[in-house]
Amino acid sequence: MDVTPTPTEPVLLPEPKRLGALARLAPEPMKVVLNWGRRYSLWVFNFGLACCAIEFIAASMARHDFIRLGVIPFAPGPRQADLMVVSGTVTDKMAPAVKRLYEQMPEPKYVISFGACSNCGGPYWDSYSVTKGVDQIIPVDVYVPGCPPRPEALLQGILKLQEKIARESLEERYGTVRPSAAALQSGLVQPPAPKGDPR
What residues form the annotated binding site? 51-52, 117, 147
Task: Give the orientation angle of helix 27-39 with respect to helix 151-167, to 10 degrees.
Answer: 170
Provide the CA 181 distance to its chain's centre, in angstroms: 24
Residue 90 near residue 130 (C-beta atoms within 8 A): yes
| Strand, helix or coil for residue 179 | coil
Binding residue numbers for [4Fe-4S] cluster? 51-52, 117, 147
- In our burial notation (b when 16+ CB lie closer than 10 A, e otherwise), range 48-60 reads bbbebbebbeebb
CA 135 to centroid of chain Cα atoms: 12
